[in-house]
Amino acid sequence: MLVKAPRGTADLLPGQIERWRWVEEVARDVFRQFGYAEIVTPIFEHTELFERGIGDTTDVVNKQMYTFLDRGQRSLTLRPEGTASVVRAYLEHHMYSGPQPVKLFYIGPIFRYERPQAGRYRQFHQLGAEALGSQDPALDVEMIAMSIEIFRRLGLADFLVHINSIGCEVCRPAYKDALRAYLQPKLDGLCRTCFERYEKNPLRILDCKVAACQDAAKGAPRSVDYLCESCREHFDAVQKYLDALGISYELNEMLVRGLDYYTKTVFEVESRSLGAQSALLGGGRYDGLVEECGGPSTPAVGFAAGMERAMLALEEQGIQAPSTRGVDAFVVAFANDKRGQVLALVHQLRQAGLVVETDYLQRSMKAQMKAASRMNAARVIICGEDELSRDVVQLRDMTSGVQEEVPLATLVERLRAELC
Ligand code: AMP
């Protein structure tokens, strides 16, 4: 029996990886331009970090974590999101004592035990950014602008930006009360998960996908009507700056996001060309998380985008990565006592910076020529025994079909001049 990849994971094969690396490259360029520096954190952390950071009333913590005991009986968890790790690193390396805001980005795998379907996996990848140490609404807008700039550069302009404000610890309790009061008569009709959410996390009922819960949530009080003065001013500024940047958005009062730590602004960008799993990215402000993790009170804002979703949207719209450099030269080799000399030539060409392929199957000259044209090699170098004994090779230009004899002494320089 063949062992297959675990459910909800996927291999990235040649032919797919080019587009993947291109997306990463575009994202890295955009992040750098906006002043964000890359951070790489471990793929696993102490379980406690996520329990404390993300919140123990969330699906991610309750149902979706890959948690295990290591051989030293420590409880570790494969990271189910990126923000908690960045906050941990910010504290561990005392970044709060340097110049603020600290602007960081990351790209890497994320693990959640979810029911796999198109666009939803158990190992997936996020690219995300966090700005810590400022409550300026300009940073909320920078996050939105930066995230959609990545998608715009990839050629994906068919998206919708949803924003909402879910208030802060000052105004949210009153909103939660109003929401509970509204939902109380409908409690029996809610799905089991929402029934459980009612006490601790009633906001999540608003974005439940179950039809009965959506019905129950229709007409529910809106968080924007319960904002305290500071949250109101902040949200007004966010909208004013979005307008100033010419970014169109929709106010979506049902948008609450899945994780507990959000405060004030939350946002999501949805692709119009994807089906059920249409969220390209999500983010928001989390002014209480750093303190929750044991640090000084530090406002912050961030976002995370799904790489696989970006791939699906690119595929959907037939957008390819710009073509990468192909094979410069295919060296036709024969299994004879001159093979060492041929392999040395291949090596020399590669050291000179050319992309070079050769034969490893002892194929006929005709089969090797076929292989070279299948690879779209720009040149073929034929090293016959007679040629090598005279220190020359046959050089064939595969576009023009012109073939000529070239001294080995000038070959590398000539190919560098023509192809590099
Ligand atoms: P979240 O961390 O849940 O806010 O998700 C941020 C983004 O990550 C989403 O908008 C999706 O693009 C992507 N994402 C979340 N969960 C998954 C998953 N299970 N599989 C693939 N992409 C995901």
From 126, 207, 209, mutation site for ligand 1 pocket: most ligand atoms within 8 A of C-beta: 126
Provide residues with CB under 6 Å of ligand 1: 81, 112, 114, 119-121, 124, 126, 258, 279-282, 304-306, 308-309
Predicted confidence at residue 272, as pLDDT, reads 85
Ligand 1, atom nearest to 283 Cα: 4
Helices marked H in 293-356: 307-316, 339-351
Predicted confidence at residue 128, as pLDDT, reads 98
Predicted confidence at residue 139, as pLDDT, reads 98
130: CB partners within 8 A, 6+ apart:
82, 83, 86, 87, 103, 104, 105, 300, 301, 302
Rg (alpha carbons) of the chain, rounded to whole number: 28
Predicted confidence at residue 298, as pLDDT, reads 97
- Under DSSP, the state recorded for 163 is E
159-177 mean pLDDT: 95
- Nearest in space to 277 (alpha carbons), one of 126, 117, 162: 117
Q: What is the CATH number assigned to the segment(s) 329-419?
A: 3.40.50.800
Query: How far is it, in rounded angstroms, from Cα 120 to Cα 210?
Result: 18
* pTM across the whole model: 0.92
Indicate if the alpha-carbon torsion angle 222, 225, 231, 237 is positive or negative: positive
Q: Which residue owns the Cα nearest ligand 1 atom 2?
A: 81
Ligand 1 centroid, distance to 80 Cα (angstroms): 10
Ligand 1, atom nearest to 281 Cα: 10
Query: How far is it, in rounded angstroms, from Cα 36 to Cα 147?
Result: 12
Which of 3.30.930.10, 3.40.50.300, 3.30.70.100, 1.10.3470.10 is the CATH number of 17-171+227-316? 3.30.930.10
Query: How far is it, in rounded angstroms, from Cα 236 to Cα 228?
Result: 12
pLDDT per residue over 254-279, tens digit each? 998 877 789 999 999 998 877 777 89
**What residues does each domain of the chain span?**
17-171+227-316, 329-419
Long-range contacts (CB closer than 8 Å, 24 or more residues apart) made by 199-203: 200/57, 201/55, 201/57, 201/58, 201/260, 202/176, 203/166, 203/176, 203/179, 203/256
pLDDT per residue over 217-236, tens digit each? 999 999 999 999 999 999 99
pLDDT per residue over 125-154, tens digit each? 999 999 999 999 999 999 999 999 999 999
Pairing of strands 37-38, 102-111: parallel
Predicted confidence at residue 207, as pLDDT, reads 85
Query: How far is it, in rounded angstroms, from Cα 393 to Cα 333?
Result: 11
Ligand 1, atom nearest to 81 Cα: 2
pLDDT per residue over 58-78, tens digit each? 788 888 999 999 999 999 999
